[in-house]
Amino acid sequence: MKIRLASSITMDSIVDGPGLRAVLWTQGCHHKCKNCHNPQTHDFHGGFEVAVEEVIEEINKLKLQRGITLSGGDPFEQPEALIEICKETKKLGLDIWAYTGYTFEELMDIKNPKYFKWAHLLEYIDVLVDGRFIEEKKDLLLKFRGSRNQRIIDVRKSLNAKKTMLHLEYMEEMNIAK
Ligand code: SF4
């Protein structure tokens, strides 16, 4: 199986989740957010294809990274390949964050034909930063996200509770009572 990426894996990122992280930049996004920071990642024919096994090999060689972050582009446009990658990543004890232009509720909508693949991918993700980037809600002081509508979601807790559960990091920043 192949995955389409926008660039090689970025190492040691400190802005795409907590700790040092390896970021996987997927290629392809439908959302067309105004003033997106990565417009070169939108084209579904852009970037380059690489075998999933090669990406897993690179992840196996990671050192000193707390986890990986799926970014893009929208990672949820390539769930099958990412399920394979995340499955192997979890075996290494790394945590997984993911960014998406979809809201968590859109991903969990059973009426959507992509629901089963999305739900399967979510099983491997610890934390999701969700929602489109909205220029009018942009805030440079926000941690790990670009605009105030985007949320940091604790996916494990949400799947267990069968409802959207915000991540502690987000609740503290937004002064939301636990
Ligand atoms: S979802 Fe992300 S990559 Fe896609 S257009 Fe919006 S900001 Fe850009």
Q: What distance in angstroms lies between residue 28's CA and the mean position of ligand 1's atoms?
A: 9
pLDDT tens digits, 63-80: 999 999 999 999 999 999
Please indicate whether residue 149, judged by its CB atom, sits closer than 6 Å to ligand 1.
no
Residue 72 Cβ contacting ligand 1 at under 6 Å = yes
Contact between 99 and 132 (Cβ < 8 Å): no
Amino acid identity for residue 5 in this structure: L
| Burial zone of 54 (CB within 10 Å; 0-12 exposed, 13-18 middle, 19+ buried) | exposed
Report how far ligand 1's centroid is from the alpha carbon of 144 (Å).
14
User: Could you write out the DSSP letters of every residue in 16-83?
Assistant: SSSSSEEEEEB-------TT-S-GGG--TT-SEEEEHHHHHHHHHT--S-SEEEEESS-GGG-HHHHH
Rounded to whole angstroms, how far apart are CA atoms 71 and 10? 11
Q: What is the pLDDT of residue 171?
A: 74
**118-170 pLDDT per residue, tens:** 999 999 999 999 999 999 999 999 999 999 999 999 999 999 999 999 998 77
Rounded Cα–Cα distance for residues 108 and 83 (Å): 16
Pick the atom of ligand 1 nearest to 73's CA.
3
Atom 1, ligand 1: residue with shortest CA distance: 101
How far apart are alpha carbons 60 and 56 in whole angstroms? 6
